[in-house]
Amino acid sequence: MQRRTLVAAAAAFGLTSTALSAFAAEKGTQYVVLDKPLPNAEGTLIKVFSYDCPFCYKYDVGVDPRVLPRIEKEVGLKFKPIHLETKGTYGRCASVFLAMCMLRDEKAGVSIEDKNSLFKKAKDAIYNAYHRKQERWTAGESAFLKTMTDATGLTAADYEAAKKDAAVTALADSWKVTYDVAKIQGIPAYVVNGKYLIMTKSIRNFDGMVSLVKELAAMK
């Protein structure tokens, strides 16, 4: 998977913001139009990610905190993370658990971006274990699951129940459509309004990413 320009720049130079591009978004270079728009995605910025994707982790730590609050405030899009279950060894387990957390957060009125959200706790736990501690859970799925239950206070029994819960499985299954999106340029994959896939290698700075999202959100 190619090194993403924005991540490399942020890591090397600590970039926060620079001058915005004076040019209109260029189709094929800065974004592509999806042949099959993602369903129920109007008004959203989708991020397709996997717990075992190194660039997803780097964006989660170094880019998302700098751009997502601005995109939500300045553009008015709702952030919608989607876990790609086909990549990691325990991809389905992660998707079901994260879907369960997301629905519980929603019911409790807690933003998934809040530090106390179950979704964020579970996501951060497996990200940090995999990428910082080099954990590969060779003992099996139960060990992988324990990383998330320890972080969230949920139990293995909660997870087993979630696997049979219609709402949880429907949400996790709905994420499968993003596999075709991930094949275009890899992940993380950011999609505006379910139609416009940002070519992350073209982004040079945080302001540029926000500006591009704003422009794509205004397109019909």
Q: Is 134 exposed, middle or buried (0-12, 13-18, 19+ CB in 10 A)?
A: exposed
| Sheet of strand 31-33: strand arrangement | 31-33, 196-198, 189-192, 44-49, 78-83
Q: What is the CATH number of the domain that holds 176?
A: 3.40.30.10
Q: For residue 83, is it within any domain? A: yes
Q: For residue 17, is it within any domain? A: no
Q: Is 162 exposed, middle or buried (0-12, 13-18, 19+ CB in 10 A)?
A: buried
Domain that holds residue 123: 31-217
Domain count for the chain, please give it.
Answer: 1
If you average pLDDT over every residue of the chain, what do you get?
Answer: 92
Q: For residue 9, is it within any domain? A: no
pLDDT of residue 196: 98
Q: For residue 10, is it within any domain? A: no
pLDDT confidence band for 220 (50 / 70 / 90): confident
Rounded to an integer, the average pLDDT of 35-58 is 97
Q: Does the pLDDT at position 18 exceed 60?
A: no
Q: For residue 11, is it within any domain? A: no
Q: For residue 6, is it within any domain? A: no
Tell me the per-residue pLDDT of 67-126, one tens digit each, with 9 for 90 and over.
Answer: 999 999 999 999 999 999 999 999 999 999 999 999 999 999 999 999 999 999 999 999
Nearest to 187 by CA among 81, 68, 29, 115: 81
Q: For residue 105, is it within any domain? A: yes
Q: Is 31 exposed, middle or buried (0-12, 13-18, 19+ CB in 10 A)?
A: buried
Q: For residue 21, is it within any domain? A: no
